[in-house]
Structure 1
Amino acid sequence: MRVQLSVMALLAALASAAPVPAAAEGGPAWEACFAAANTPDERVKACSTVIDTGSETGQRLAGAYCSRGHGLTEKRELDAALSDLDEAVKLAPDYACAYNNRGRVYGFKGDYDRAIAEYDQAIKLDPSMALAYSNRGDARYNKGDLDGAIADFDAAIKRNPNYARAYANRGYVYARKHDTAHALADYSMRIKLAPDLLAYIDRGNVYRDSEQLDRAAADYGEAIRIAPTDARGWRNRGMIRLFQGNNKGGVADYDKALQYDPSDAFSWNNRGQARMRLGDKQGAIADLRKALELNPDLATAREALQRLGAL
């Protein structure tokens, strides 16, 4: 099965703060309100300063509300975010950013029809807005409309051929449709444009699910190289090593995975299974008991303990 990399989590990263409305220069708070590198807390604080000083009007004030609404959305303060984005729409009804970011709030609330309506309006106001197409693809995916989602990701990529996340999102949907060739092509393009941890894990998952285990292991190895203290690369490669019968290698990878994420029941279970195959009964029992402690419903751990006479 696919490693749990929530599509909502992946697609949430697509939203951006409001583009800076063109006009006179602003001060430090204005710049910080729209700084992409700032944390949500930093943007919310800066945008609040801009709003509270009353120094801006019209679309510039709408931009501050839109950016603060984005920051609040990232903090999952959804009602406060919606209030800000409603205000942005009142101030500048033709400002696509507000509709796009308001669509994200409705998406997080699970109201995908309303989210799609908001993205429709953003696209109507700014047909070049690749982000709105991609976010609408997210909402359509979550409604179960996979073909509609792909069409939106196509549109996003047409408007921005270097949009790495849109390739990742489309690849994810192709993988769900079991279209391995298209999924691999999209993930490979994402890797070309933005070779990060998730890019290699996502492509590795497709290789794994299509039983191309050596290639899967290679991609997980790249994920480990990029982020050696992130457990995901280690535990995914560990699983491949177990599939290939390399129990010692699997134990070594799960040692690392558990070093960086000791709360993952499946890593404890899988290392326990490998230790059992290697004849390390006591080590296996300890791992499997820990897996059950973390997840009492984990049937494979319970059954293995029963076979070992430890339950």
Structure 2
Amino acid sequence: MRVPLSLMALLAALASTAPLPAAAEGGPVWDACVGLTSTPEERVKACSTVIETRSESGHRLAGAYCNRGHGLTEKRELDAALSDLDEAVRLAPDYACPFNNRGRVYSFKRDFDHAIADYDQAIKLDPSLALAYSNRGESRYNKGDLDGAFADFDAAIKRDPNYATAYTNRALVYYRRHDMAHALADYTTRIKLAPSLLAYIDRGNVYRDSEQLDRAAADYGEAIRIAPTDARGWRNRGMIRLYQGDDKGGLADYDKALQYDPSDVFSWNNRGQAKLRLGDKQGAIADFRKALELKPGLPVAREALQRLGAL
């Protein structure tokens, strides 16, 4: 039986606001505009008030545009974000924040050359900005430049050894290079710094591909503990249980996975395989048919139905 492997998590090079130059303290609106804990909606609203009232000028006004651009990027209003970041660059061409955040907009637009050019400028203006290195590494990775991406993620970590996302990104490059030992080390550091659902799934995937199935199952179990209503932990652990011949355990995990994500075609197919192994032919047929309904022509489901004389 071929059980499809889950995909490695995408790079998570998150943009955030860069520090503003020292200036007089602002009020609650200003604090919400530049605060790292503000939601995108709160940031956009507060920065809009700053901009519309012209309560700030110079670099602080540029900071309001930069931060509103960040909030709009998080809301995926990319054209509006680009307009704000262009204005921030015009107001303060010596300020790294808008170049870094504009680079991220270009990255979302898959214009990686413009993104890299903006990250280059952000780094030139602020060589200590670990975030800009990590973001530039993401764009280089997406262009297929693994060596350049690795150098940037490494540089980000050297500038900020507690920058968890950079470890995730560097680990993915190690994984692509089939250097599993270093990938595991980076994912382990990421988990120590900022444990999360995806951190455990990522490390579990490396354990899985290194044929350390018990450790993979343990990491997927931690993902389930952290986010019990997220299907990803359940379906990844279910796959390991099927690999190990624990069909009842695999079936139970896929039941949970489908409870939380009934649109996942491979969970239907893999649960069908578990049911078939356990002697539930009709249940297996129903699951394979559901997999085909979601993904017509899926070879493994079609072949299973043909073997069962149900197609």
TM range (shorter): over 0.9
Letter in 2 for 1:174: Y
In structure 1, how many angstroms separate the alpha carbons of the residues matched to 2:125 and 2:271?
A: 54
Deviation of the 1:56 alpha carbon: 1.0
CA distance change for structure 1 residues 93 and 2 in 2, over 3 Å: closer, same or farther? Answer: farther
- The yes-or-no answer on 1:151 pairing with 2:151 is yes
1:282 corresponds in structure 2 to: 282
Shift in Å at residue 298 of structure 1? 1.6
Residue 102, structure 1, aligned to residue 102, structure 2: yes
Amino acid at match of 2:135: N
1:3 aligns with 2:6: yes
- Which residue of structure 2 aligns with residue 35 of structure 1? 35
| 1:209 lines up with 2:212 in the alignment | no
| Paired letter, 2:95 | Y
- 1:2-61 residue CA offsets vs partner (Å, 9 max, x unmatched): 5234524x22xx211243443122222211112222221221111111111111111001
Partners of 2:247 and 2:137 in 1: CA distance: 41
Matches within 5 A, 1:149-188: 149-188=149-188
> Residues 257-296 of structure 1: CA distance to partner in whole angstroms, max 9, x if unpaired?
1111111111111101110111101111111111111111
- TM-score normalised by L of structure 1: 0.96
Asked whether the 8 Å contact 2:69–2:80 carries over to 1, the reply is yes
> Cα distance 1:2–1:56, how it changes in 2: closer, same or farther (>3 A)?
farther
Task: Assess if the C-alpha contact under 8 Å between 1:21 and 1:63 holds in 2.
Answer: no
Contact 1:18 1:34 in 2 (8 A): no
State the 4+ residue runs in structure 1 displaced beyond 4 angstroms: none
* Residue range with higher mean Cα deviation, 200-209 or 73-82: 73-82
Scaled by the length of structure 2, the TM-score of the pair is: 0.96
Q: CA deviation at 1:234?
A: 0.5
SS at match of 2:215: helix
Partner of 2:191: 191
Return closer, same or farther for 1:115/1:2 CA change in 2, 3 Å cut-off: farther
Q: Cα RMSD (Å) of the superposition?
A: 1.2
Give the AA of the match of 1:294: L
- Residue 256 in structure 1 maps to residue 259 in structure 2: no
Deviations along 1:196-240, whole A, 9 cap, x unmatched?
A: 111110000001111111111111011111111111100000000
SS at match of 2:6: coil
C-alpha change, 1:190 and 1:6, in structure 2 (3 Å) is closer
**Residue identity in the other structure for 2:137:** G
Aligned residue type for 1:4: L
Kindly report which structure 2 residues correspond to 1:263-274, keeping only aligned pairs within 5 A, or say none: 263-274=263-274
Please state whether the residue corresponding to 2:239 is helix, strand or coil: helix
Q: Which amino acid aligns with 1:279?
A: G
Relative contact order, higher structure (CA 8 A, sep 6+): 2
Percent identity, aligned pairs only, is 81
Amino acid at match of 1:167: Y
Q: Report the Cα offset of residue 75 of structure 1.
A: 1.4
**Where does 1:18-57 land on structure 2 (aligned, <5 Å)?**
18-57=18-57
Query: Cα 1:2–1:122, aligned 2, differ >3 Å: closer, same or farther?
Result: farther
Contact conserved, 1:85 with 1:98, CA < 8 A, in 2?
Answer: yes
Contact (CA 8 Å) 2:137, 2:150: kept in 1 or not? yes
Aligned partner of residue 262 in structure 1, secondary structure: coil
Q: Secondary structure of the residue that 1:7 maps to in structure 2?
A: coil
Unaligned stretches of 5+ in structure 1? none
Which piece of structure 1 moves more, 18-27 or 211-220?
A: 18-27
Q: Alpha-carbon deviations, 1:151-171, whole Å to 9, x = none?
A: 101100000011111001100
Number of equivalences: 308
